[in-house]
Chain A
Amino acid sequence: MTAAFYVAAVVAVLATAMVITRANAVHALLYLVVSLLAVAIVFYVLGAPFAAVLEVIVYAGAIMVLFVFVIMMLNRGEQAAQQERQWLTPGIWIGPAVLSAVLLGEIIYMLWQGPASVPASAVVTPRQVGMLLFGPYLLAVELASMLLLAGLIGAYHLGRQERHAAERDIQKERAGRERETVAR
């Protein structure tokens, strides 16, 4: 199974190199997702299937979707349709598609090989992780939950502030208009 590691490692490095050299944020995100999927395969080969699943669900799923949402919110809108047409040229998606196809081939190969392809000697099962996580590492779990709560409140506060200011602007405008009508 060492070949799978090397192929996934090369894909990860190539995709990461493409991420930091792209001019367009969405193109970089495509490569970043491929890079994270490749790292997930590396995790699997290294005998950490639980971490591989978490990598796909949380990193390539949730965090990347957050990035996509923010980039969509930052989109100016006027040249959006033209940009969309530009983005869908084959030159853009062929790179991530080829790299993902390599990863897909790797997964099919590993499934074809059956359980024998898994490095059985070093596999750390989710059960072991869970027992350790809620035993000796319980304090760390609590701290992580506090951190996530702080992140939640921070993101809410930062995202809310501007709407407050906008409401204030609207109220100021309305008050000004009322003053105008009273003066008239």
Chain B
Amino acid sequence: MSVVPMQYGLLLAAVLFALGTLGVLMRRNIIFMLMSIEIMLNAAGLAFIAAGSRWGQADGQIMFILILALAAAEVSVGLALILQLYRRLATLDADVASRMRG
């Protein structure tokens, strides 16, 4: 039985991370930007899992669990901010909210 080389796992993580970065740079809808951030966090977790499986250690999965907790906290605050933005400015355009005054 052949095991998947670590390079391919890291390559997949890099491609997913690049797609997430592209999404953040490309889209101006703030919900899509948050989704792209989720993609990037997930890709970072994938890189940790691939590296952890290369040496058969559990540390990679622990880093993934911590990233998962981070993503959960980040998305809850981010979505609450999106709700506030929509209620105050009635738009989801990130450029409209570029000027923040106190």
User: Measuring CB to CB, which residues of chain A are less than 8 angstroms from any residue of chain B?
Assistant: 1-2, 5-6, 9, 12-13, 16-17, 19-20, 25, 28-29, 32, 35-36, 39, 42-43, 45-48, 50-51, 54-55, 58-59, 62-63, 66-67, 70-71, 73-74, 116, 119-122, 124, 128-129, 131-133, 137, 140, 144, 147-148, 150-152, 154-155, 158-159, 161-162
**A58 to B, closest residue via Cβ:** B68
Q: Which 3 residue pairs spanning A and B have beta carbons closest together?
A: A151-B73, A20-B23, A158-B80
The interface residues of chain A lying within 8 Å CB-to-CB of B81 are: 158
Within B1-47, the residues touching A (CB, 8 Å) are 1-4, 8-9, 12, 15-16, 19-20, 22-23, 26-27, 29, 31-32, 34-36, 38-39, 42, 45-46
Beyond A43-B46, A133-B62, is A20–B27 a contact (Cβ under 8 Å)?
yes
| Contact, CB under 8 Å: A122 / B3 | yes
The interface residues of chain B lying within 8 Å CB-to-CB of A19 are: 19, 23, 35-36, 39
A162 to chain B, nearest CB (A): 5
**B33 to A, closest residue via Cβ:** A20
| Contact, CB under 8 Å: B49 / A122 | no
| Contact, CB under 8 Å: A147 / B35 | no
Beyond A32-B39, A51-B61, A54-B68, is A17–B19 a contact (Cβ under 8 Å)?
yes
- Which of A45, A58, A144 interacts with B4 by CB under 8 Å? A45
User: Measuring CB to CB, which residues of chain B are less than 8 angstroms from any residue of chain A?
Assistant: 1-4, 8-9, 12, 15-16, 19-20, 22-23, 26-27, 29, 31-32, 34-36, 38-39, 42, 45-46, 49-50, 52-54, 56-62, 64-66, 68-77, 79-84, 86-87, 92
The interface residues of chain B lying within 8 Å CB-to-CB of A51 are: 45, 49, 61, 64-65
Total number of A-B contacts with CB less than 8 angstroms?
183
| Contact, CB under 8 Å: B53 / A122 | yes
B84 to chain A, nearest CB (A): 6
A138 to chain B, nearest CB (A): 11
The interface residues of chain A lying within 8 Å CB-to-CB of B45 are: 51
Alpha-carbon distance A140/B67, docked complex (angstroms): 11
